[in-house]
Chains A and B, each alone.
Chain A
């Protein structure tokens, strides 16, 4: 851990006050090593949040729910209940557990199959974004330019605040993920209501392909490939709007 880490992390988390932020941004602009460290620390954010989410999925909810204190003080067994033996109860519980296990296996297999393509992975992830994910961020033009420049370098694309700008949307931040070894950049926007929209770019050597679109769950997707990269516009917006945004970006990037 370097001396600057605490301030860099606070900058990433948007927790630095204005004067410290301005000073650190000036140092970042002038210091390659510091910029590299900023990138290293920033890249830990998404996996960290995803891993903590992963722990939530492991919570033994059925057991925890069963242990919740009863709503009312326990009553004496009724005559009707007294006819049920412990063996009956145990058999019922085993049935419930078996059904739950079967559903879990089916769900897991389904998820594994679905995760075969990157759009599905992005859709799963975007589904977790809410109006509070990006809208509280106060965009800083210098920081955005640094983020986009870093993203562009990994993706082999020229990305600037100007060429990712979209009508009616506010660009908030850009960050890097990877999907099966391919760099996957995410450029996040919010609409005036705070709803998130993302442009995802993956360097996957895909052949050029025109814009296509679809609806998945409550999300609209519009994607195209060019120059060895695939692009995806995704958000809780009408499909036509996603296509229009994709057309704008296809011309600009």
Chain B
């Protein structure tokens, strides 16, 4: 089981990199922090690969590690250092988000997501970006389903104001 765990974790890292980075960016709103967070997640996953249960979803396991590192280490560290998460140049929409042919541009939507509180941003990402069901999101975030519902509604209401 240990060898199988290590193999699955190792195999699951690279395919998950972009999604881990997106999650890290949505949480931190800072690209340097997102890079660090993904790197720390990969290291931690390899260190603790024996704890992974083979046959379960490695991406969800990696997400849980990333979230834990963010909450317990990097976020508090950045707060201690006085580094905020609201620098305009670090927001989600920098790096030239390409416009797409829809009624609301991706950049405008990302700006609106950017302005949401962290808990709402994270819930929106997990449900609409990662396909978590409400129950899965509630279990992952440790909140009731009603809280998931109100966070998603707040997020979509903010987007509905865009014209």
CA distance A176 to B162 in the complex (A): 16
CB <8 Å contact, A1 and B154: yes
- How does the 8 Å CB contact mask read for A58-86 relative to B, with 1 for contact and 0 for none? 11110111011101000000000000000
| B1-56 contacts to A (CB < 8 Å) | 10, 13-14, 17-19, 21-22, 25-26, 31, 35, 38-39, 42-43, 46
Would you call A115 an interface residue if the criterion is a C-beta within 8 Å of the partner chain's C-beta atoms? yes
What's the least CB distance linking B2 to chain A, in Å? Answer: 17
Chain B: CB-nearest residue to A52: B129
A121 to B99, CA, bound (A): 12
Q: Which of A39-47, A203-211, A232-240, A242-250 contacts B (4 or more CB under 8 A)?
A: A39-47
Query: A41 vs B160: C-alpha distance in the bound complex, in angstroms?
Result: 6
CB pair B160 A40 closer than 8 Å: yes
Cβ proximity bits A7-50 to B, threshold 8 Å, 1 near / 0 not = 11110010100000000000000000000000011011111111
Is the CB–CB distance between A50 and B157 below 8 Å?
A: no
Q: Which residues of A contact B125 (CB under 8 A)?
A: 52
| Chain A facing B: main interface SS | helix
Asked if A51 contacts B134 (CB within 8 A), the reply is: no
B88 CB-CB contact with A under 8 Å: no
Give the CA-CA distance A125 to B10 in the complex, in Å: 31
Contact residues in A for B156 (Cβ distance below 8 Å)? 5, 9, 41, 44-45, 48
Among A89-97, A163-171, A177-185, A223-231, the stretch in contact with B: A177-185
In the bound complex, residues from chain A placing their C-beta under 8 Å from that of B128 are: 45, 48-49, 52
Is there contact, CB below 8 Å, between B97 and A48? no
> Once the chains bind, are A43 and B101 in contact (CB under 8 Å)?
no
Interface residues of A in 115-155 (CB under 8 A from B): 115, 118, 121
**Closest residue of B by beta carbon distance from A183:** B103
Report A-chain residues with C-beta under 8 Å of the C-beta of B92: 55
A7 to B129, CA, bound (A): 20
Contact of A10 among B21, B25, B26, B149 (CB under 8 A): B149
| Least Cβ–Cβ distance between A159 and chain B, in angstroms | 19
Contacts of A64 in B (CB 8 A): 17-18, 21, 35, 38-39
* A47 & B35 in contact (Cβ 8 Å cutoff): no
Q: Is the CB of B134 within 8 A of A44?
A: no
Give CA–CA (A67, B39) in the complex, Å. Answer: 6
- Tell me if A54 and B98 are in contact (CB < 8 A): yes
> Complex Cα distance A43/B161, Å?
11
CA distance A71 to B101 in the complex (A): 42
The reply on A105 being an interface residue by CB < 8 A is no
Given the complex, which residues of B lie within 8 Å of A102, measured CB to CB?
Answer: none
A143 to B138, CA, bound (A): 26
* Residue A99 interfacial (CB < 8 Å): no
Chain A residue with the shortest CB-CB distance to B124? A48
Look across to chain B and name the residue whose beta carbon is closest to the beta carbon of A56. B18
Query: A-contacting residues of B (Cβ < 8 Å)?
Result: 10, 13-14, 17-19, 21-22, 25-26, 31, 35, 38-39, 42-43, 46, 92, 95, 97-98, 100-104, 106, 109-110, 113, 124-125, 127-129, 133-134, 146, 149-150, 152-157, 159-160
26 example contacts (A-B, Cβ-Cβ < 8 A) are as follows A5-B157, A9-B156, A10-B149, A15-B133, A41-B153, A41-B156, A41-B157, A41-B160, A43-B160, A44-B104, A44-B159, A45-B128, A47-B159, A48-B128, A51-B110, A55-B92, A56-B18, A56-B22, A58-B97, A59-B17, A59-B18, A63-B35, A65-B14, A68-B17, A177-B103, A178-B102
Q: Which 3 A-B pairs have the closest CB atoms?
A: A52-B129, A51-B109, A5-B153
Given contacts A6-B153, A44-B104, A52-B124, 10 further A-B contacts (CB under 8 A): A6-B150, A9-B152, A40-B160, A43-B160, A47-B103, A47-B106, A47-B109, A49-B129, A179-B102, A180-B101
